[in-house]
Amino acid sequence: KCEVVVCPTFVCLDAVKKAVEGTNIKIGAQNMHFEEKGAFTGEIAPRMLEAMNIDYVIIGHSERREYFNETDETCNKKVKAAFAHNLTPILCCGETLEQRENGTTNDVIKAQITADLEGLTKEQAEKVVIAYEPIWAIGTGKTATSDQAN
């Protein structure tokens, strides 16, 4: 089974959702905050995405982890919040060049996924979409082979 999911910027979510109406294309948000309410300027609450009938949300993207200091604990809270609001999480995971060269790729990714999915039911964990995002390949011109990605 294969689904096509488009994750536009927040300001385009509604327009893109309308543009793909009547197709099998699903819409995802590029991020969300895990808190239900509070002063989180610039963040999107999960209930807002649910109210817009958004299908998916990206969690743990390397840019969020690097520039916004998002941790596995934060990602875990986001994954749980996504499920609480009928959103399917697209969980990004990946290793740095140093980790890759040290041969710890599998250990790093296993630890990330284990921490990010902690406390989920088996049914929830099976619904999470895992997106392998090799950090070492971002902006370097290097790409992961299909064997590396699998």
Q: Which two tokens stand for residue 59?
A: 């969690």
Catalytic residue of the set 70, 85, 95, 133: 133
What string of DSSP letters covers 24-93? S-EEEES---S-SSS--TT---HHHHHHTT--EEEES-HHHHHHS---HHHHHHHHHHHHHTT-EEEEEE
Q: DSSP secondary-structure letter at 136?
A: G
Catalytic residue of the set 36, 61, 85, 123: 61
> Is-catalytic flag, 61?
yes
Question: What's the CA gap between 90 and 92, in Å, rounded?
Answer: 6
> Is-catalytic flag, 33?
no
Q: Which residue has the tokens 């999470």?
A: 128
Residues recognised as catalytic: 61, 133
